[in-house]
Amino acid sequence: MAFSHRIAALAAVVAIPLGIAATSFALTDQPKSPEVPPRVELDSGSPTPTPSRPRATPSDEVVSRPPVTDSPGNDDDDDDRGEVGDDG
């Protein structure tokens, strides 16, 4: 009797996930392969003129650094309230 319960439990452990996987596979949409046009036509007009001076890339741009100060000028943070020695 215990052997038949073990077989039933083993069958349930195997059959339930396989049933879920089979159902999931059966209900999924099959993606269509992308359709490629038979040929591609380019504009037959004249090519766009290239700029006489190339644009600067981000690595070519120079940005000045902000000034370094010991304390911020406008400290509007309220996180320092309630400290010892605070007269606020």
- The per-residue pLDDT for range 15-58, each reduced to its tens digit, is 999 999 999 988 888 777 878 878 877 776 666 666 666 666 66
Domain that holds residue 15: 1-26
In a domain, 10, yes or no: yes
In a domain, 32, yes or no: no
In a domain, 4, yes or no: yes
Average pLDDT over residues 81-86: 58
Phi and psi based region of residue 47 (left: phi greater than 0; alpha: psi -120 to 50; beta: remaining): beta
In a domain, 33, yes or no: no
Dihedral angle computed from the Cα positions of residues 50, 51, 52 and 57, in that order, rounded to the nearest 10 degrees: -120
Average pLDDT over residues 59-74: 74
In a domain, 16, yes or no: yes
In a domain, 60, yes or no: no
Q: In angstroms, rounded to a whole number, what is the distance separating the alpha carbons of residues 26 and 45?
A: 51
Taking the CA atoms of 6, 7, 13 and 16 in sequence, report the sign of the dihedral they define: negative
In a domain, 17, yes or no: yes
Q: How many helices (H) and strands (E) does the chain have?
A: 1, 0
| The pLDDT of residue 66 | 83
Q: How many domains does the chain have?
A: 1
In a domain, 55, yes or no: no
> Global pTM?
0.32
